[in-house]
Amino acid sequence: MLNEQRSKVIRLVVFAIGFLFILRLFWVQIIDKNYKQFAEQNALRKETIIPARGLIYDRKGKLVVNNQTFYDVMVTPAKVKDLDTNAICQLLDVDKKDFMESYANAESYSRYRPSAVIRQISYEQYGSLQERLFEFKGFFVQAREARTYPKAIAAHVLGYLGEVSDNEIEKSEGYFKSGDYIGKSGLEHSYEKELRGTKGIKNVLVDVLNREQGRYMNGIYDIPAVAGKDLLTGLDLSLQEYGEKLLKGRKGSIVAIEPNTGEILAMVSMPSYDPGMLLGRKRSSNIGKLMIDPDKPMFNRAIQARYPPGSTLKPLMALFALKEHVIIPSTTYVCNGGYHLTATQTIRCHASGTFDLHGSIQMSCNTYYCNVFRLLIDNPRYRSAANGLDNFTAHLREFGLGGKLGIDIPNENHGIIPTVKLYNKSYGAGAWHSSTIISLGIGQAEMSFTPLQIANNAAILANKGFYIIPHFVRGFDRNGRREMLQWERHQVNIDSSAFRLVADAMEDVIEHGTATMAKVKGIQICGKTGTAQNPHGRDHSIFMAFAPKNAPKIAICVILENSGFGGTWAAPMGGLMIEKYLHDSITDKWQEKRILESDIDAIESIMDKSKGAEHSTHEKSKKQEVKVKEPAKEEETPDERPAD
Amino acid sequence: MSAQRINDSSRSLLSRLDWPLLSIFFTLLFIGWFNIYSSEYNENQKAIVDFGMSHGKQLMWIGISLSVGFVILMLDERLYHTLGYVFYVIMLLLVFVTIFAGKVVNGAQGWLQIGGFQLQSSEPMKVAAALALAKYLSNYGVDLSNRKDKFYAFGIIALPVILVLAQNDTGSALVFLALFMMLFREGLEPYFIVIPVWIGVLSIMVLVFDKIPVLIVLTGLGLIAYWLFRKLSYRALFLLIGLYLFSLTVIMLVDFGFNKILKDYQRDRIEVLIGKKVDMKGAGYNVHQSLIAIGSGGVLGKGFLKGTQTKFNFVPEQTTDFIFCTIGEEWGFVGSLIVILLYIGLMYRISIIAERQKFSFTRCYAYGVLSIIFIHFLINISMTLGLFPVIGIPLPYISYGGSAMLGFTILLFILLKLDAANQ
């Protein structure tokens, strides 16, 4: 080969390499689409924008839950220069050791991405830090929204927020990411989806160290965040506050329902806690404290505790009996201090005399209802006690007892009603009779309801035969656009004339009966006292009522644990609540002062000692005297389990 | 011969310069600068010229290089022939000094601190080696078929290779080997080039497919060749058998060499390249990111300053060794094609210039220039396209880097001057 020819070889090699490169470029840039996808993952960071959480309003439009801006001190460790640790700790009033620890955490998280070193500094600290921020390179303050409570009330109802768990992340189908906040209980939990709104996405260009480099395509692919919806609740903030004031330092609960709509006006459960305790920096330590508190402040008695209804069952018994035609209003029984089951067994009764239906409710006669219960169970129509009991419990279920009512906060407990199966197990099939289970007739033994259910019974009595599922939320509001919720209505298949008879009797309970303490000037209240037997200590007092009689606006249940007879303490509290709601003022200052200032426990202890004193023995009846075999009870006391 | 020409030509020097070559040169400078600017561009940094950043410094280096280029055009062209060996020895000394006094940049101890500047000593060495080799080959009576002449020629190449390897700069060392192209043009037997390339191909095959399949295929090919050539002379048959045995030896040695001779990082890079190892954070990362950047460019690219991969430091060394990624990403297939064609045009033009020379010195030097540009082009773009292990080597006239810019400019302007003087 001539050397001159070799230049052609060299040119050929150059062209060949060029051609190879062009082929490769064609493949990489035009044919293969993978690299384009990789590129997108590489440089685009999708930042989530968390929208403002919806607020919660009461029925008068007052804020129950608000958002407030908090300030977190953030640090980008890579930008920190010549940090004067002492100065910043002094300025923000934090312990140097704590600061160093969280700074180290921030550093190990990322040197280039900011993370919070100090959470929720006060506005004042924010101000003073802002002035001196230039001294602390790499630090900045980030505003963040968090819940605040204008009044520290209704903790159980409102619930609280917490970081999402792995389980919740999985269930959310990609919505939640670790570190997000979610409603853990109460309304915050039930209406999580409405309250939280929809996260937005901001497409940010980042470099390999994840440093922000600007918007992607001027933000045309960004998705704006959608603000959460505000909750419009039926709560009455001032009634709630008043109820909490009445029960403060005691154990018990108050549930008040607007009977026409099923809206809950107030739900008090004591002991309670300040909902602000579960915000921000101190949340986790406070949750721990609340969990181990022997008073169980996180336990929502109003929907989780169960109590035998005691005599508050009597109006219902009367309705069942009228419905089943086993009595008529004028049916009369003579009571001479008790219902004599056998020669030696007596269900004692405080009342004595001859009572018709009206009188039996007014005076809360046990004898009368033992008779009524036997008539119901032994009704020849049903041919056996078992069938009779089934029919009886069917009526109870119609009143929303036994199951859950379906209130719009989580952890509602179901009520307990007796079942044929239970007695068959305890006594053997066919081996038990109405007399065996007679305690049921006066609302004791294998029967217990939540305060909410008893309040709902009051609402049914007020409505003369129907109830709407008790609930807090009427609807939502987003920027003035409202959407209202429809809540299911349940009709009870009993004539309204029967309800009218019962309401008349219940009015006389207040006027001349067992709950005269609940009397309020100018308001026709219909009520019924009760005493829930408590094998662990002094009985719980119960009061249920609705008012005004002719156009009821409020139905209520008050339960005060370990306070004995329902007329003494629970009834006047109910009266005060009703007056507070209907008149927004209290006329009987003496009664209010008595409720607020009495040491109920001490008074009742004295009463206990002077046995024979009327109140303490009034309905405290049969346990010692009825020597019937006690079936294994499923539940007897409120099962106290924290709501979370 | 040309003193008279130069005297009467300072007026017409411009007309005697090879303008096609110069225009390609300026086009590449232009493309290079804008892509360096774009690589560094971000919303916070919008200044057109910032001497604190690469594009600003590059502008300064372009200015310096063009001034030096101008001086080269003004000087007597005989200087380069006369002082060829002197430059070579001075540069060898400079490289030698750098081994001990140099600064380490990216693992290579190739940088000399001179005043405020850092000079990569291997860059002027390239020019000096090309000049010295051209001078030697153009000596009267030098014949590459002669063993002694071959020895000297190889020696001129080997000295800088050894010294630069001592600087731990494999990439630059490879560049000097490209000067074999000049030797090839001047009559070196082809097997000096074919055999190393054959070894290279075999090695890669062994590394990719393991030795057994390669042995089988090779034996098969040998048998076919034997059947085809069985009627030929014994000499051809011996050659065939010799080649076969040689290949077997190579295959056996590759495994050993790969595992015992190469350094860990080199082994990593090769393993990643041949797909034996997936290492997205280490050696594979650069190639992968580079391909993402280029691949995301598509047909027309994302547009000037609109790249996302090269701009935000995903691609390492984005202004220097991986500058082609910015071109691929922002200008797409069309832009990349143009750049490739410009290089091919540049090299083609140099070969034309080479072949029209009356004097063998200029021709030899022209092939030196061609070979040096070619090897940079080959290695750099192969690397960014994932066809070759990552070896830090700039893309001529485009990559950021003062020493390289100056070196390549000098390289080309000496050729321009020699060519202009000869017309």
CATH number of residue A165's parent domain: 3.90.1310.10
Any chain A CB within 8 A of the CB of B292?
yes
Contact residues, chain A, for B185 at CB < 8 Å: 3, 6-7, 10
Q: Are residues A190 and A205 in the same domain?
A: yes
The answer to whether residue A34 is domain-embedded is no
Q: Are residues A138 and A225 in the same domain?
A: no
Q: What is the per-residue pLDDT for B45?
A: 55
Task: Tell me the residue type at A398.
Answer: E
Report domain extents, chain B: 3-189+287-422, 195-261
Q: What is the per-residue pLDDT for A123?
A: 78
Q: Are residues A413 and A527 in the same domain?
A: yes
Averaged pLDDT for residues B74-95: 91
pLDDT, chain A, mean: 82
Averaged pLDDT for residues A161-175: 80
- Distance between CA B263 and CA B258 in Å, rounded? 9
Any chain B CB within 8 A of the CB of A505?
no
pLDDT higher than threshold 90 for residue A640:
no
Q: Are residues A271 and A323 in the same domain?
A: yes
Q: Lowest-confidence range among A160-164, A200-204, A261-265?
A: A200-204
User: Closest partner residue to B312 among A9, A14, A205, by Cβ?
Assistant: A205
- Distance between CA A183 and CA A191 in Å, rounded? 8
Task: Give the residue from A233, A268, A290 where a domain finishes.
Answer: A233
Question: pLDDT by residue (tens digit) across B262-277?
Answer: 777 777 767 765 555 5
- Distance between CA A164 and CA A184 in Å, rounded? 8
Number of A/B CB contacts below 8 angstroms equals: 118
| β-strand pairing of A63-75 with A56-57 | antiparallel
| β-strand pairing of A252-258 with A554-560 | antiparallel
Averaged pLDDT for residues B148-159: 92
Please state the length of chain A. Answer: 644
Q: Is residue B417 within 8 Å of B77, Cβ to Cβ? A: yes
- Note if the bond before B20 is cis, omega within 30 degrees: no
pLDDT higher than threshold 90 for residue A370:
no
Question: pLDDT by residue (tens digit) across A507-550?
Answer: 888 888 787 888 888 888 999 988 888 777 788 889 999 988 88
pLDDT higher than threshold 60 for residue A190:
yes
Distance from CA of A8 to the nearest CA of B (A): 9
Q: What is the per-residue pLDDT for A12?
A: 92
Averaged pLDDT for residues A273-298: 83
Report how many domains make up chain A: 3
Q: What is the per-residue pLDDT for A207?
A: 62
Q: Are residues A171 and A320 in the same domain?
A: no
Q: Lowest-confidence range among A96-105, A203-212, A521-530, B327-336?
A: A203-212
The answer to whether residue A631 is domain-embedded is no
Averaged pLDDT for residues B353-377: 93
Contact residues, chain B, for A34 at CB < 8 Å: 295
- Distance between CA A163 and CA B245 in Å, rounded? 71
Contact residues, chain B, for A217 at CB < 8 Å: none
Averaged pLDDT for residues B2-10: 48
Q: What is the per-residue pLDDT for A496?
A: 87
pLDDT higher than threshold 90 for residue B364:
yes
Place of tokens 């006239």: B397
Any chain B CB within 8 A of the CB of A27?
no
Q: What is the per-residue pLDDT for B48?
A: 63
- Distance between CA A329 and CA B356 in Å, rounded? 131
Contact residues, chain A, for B318 at CB < 8 Å: none
**Region at B318 (left for phi over 0; alpha for psi -120 to 50; beta for the rest):** alpha
Bridge partners of residue A202, in order along the sequence: A47
Q: Lowest-confidence range among A445-449, A451-455, B12-16?
A: B12-16
Q: Are residues A581 and A467 in the same domain?
A: yes
The answer to whether residue A174 is domain-embedded is yes
Phi, psi at A306, each rounded to 5°: -130, 140
Identify the band that residue A624 occupies on the pLDDT scale cut at 50, 70 and 90. very low
- Greatest CA separation for chain A: 141
User: Closest partner residue to A26 among B184, B333, B355, by Cβ?
Assistant: B333
Q: Are residues A399 and A517 in the same domain?
A: yes
Q: Are residues A448 and A365 in the same domain?
A: yes
Question: pLDDT by residue (tens digit) across B89-108?
Answer: 999 999 898 888 777 766 66
Q: What is the per-residue pLDDT for A642?
A: 39
Q: Lowest-confidence range among A100-104, A343-347, B15-19?
A: A343-347
Cβ contact, residue pair B385, A29, below 8 Å:
no
Residue A594 in tokens: 């008595």
Identify the band that residue A635 occupies on the pLDDT scale cut at 50, 70 and 90. very low
The answer to whether residue A288 is domain-embedded is no
Q: Are residues A528 and A459 in the same domain?
A: yes
Of all residues in chain A, the percent with pLDDT exceeding 90 is 17
Place of tokens 């007796």: A418
Phi, psi at A65, each rounded to 5°: -130, 130
Q: What is the per-residue pLDDT for B49?
A: 65
Any chain A CB within 8 A of the CB of B187?
yes
Question: pLDDT by residue (tens digit) across A467-486?
Answer: 999 999 999 998 888 889 88
Q: Which residue of B has its CA nearest to A1?
A: B187
Question: pLDDT by residue (tens digit) across A573-617?
Answer: 888 999 999 988 888 888 888 888 877 777 777 766 654 444 434
Any chain B CB within 8 A of the CB of A303?
no
- Distance between CA A11 and CA A17 in Å, rounded? 10
The answer to whether the Cα torsion of A142, A143, A149, A154 is positive or negative is negative
Distance from CA of A6 to the nearest CA of B (A): 6
Q: Are residues A203 and A310 in the same domain?
A: no
Q: Are residues A355 and A254 in the same domain?
A: yes
Q: What is the per-residue pLDDT for B282?
A: 53
Any chain A CB within 8 A of the CB of B182?
no
Q: What is the per-residue pLDDT for B156?
A: 94
Phi, psi at A30, each rounded to 5°: -115, -45
- Greatest CA separation for chain B: 74
- Distance between CA A329 and CA A357 in Å, rounded? 5
Question: pLDDT by residue (tens digit) across B381-398?
Answer: 988 888 777 778 899 999
Q: What domain range includes position A119?
A: 69-77+113-145
End-to-end Cα, chain A, rounded Å = 92
Bridge partners of residue A540, in order along the sequence: A532
Q: Are residues A265 and A218 in the same domain?
A: no
Q: What is the per-residue pLDDT for B348?
A: 96
**Of B282 and B405, which is predicted with more confidence?**
B405
Contact residues, chain B, for A3 at CB < 8 Å: 185-187
User: Closest partner residue to A205 among B292, B308, B340, by Cβ?
Assistant: B308
Angle subtended at Cα A484 by Cα A48 and Cα A450, rounded to the nearest 5 degrees: 95
Q: What is the per-residue pLDDT for B2?
A: 45
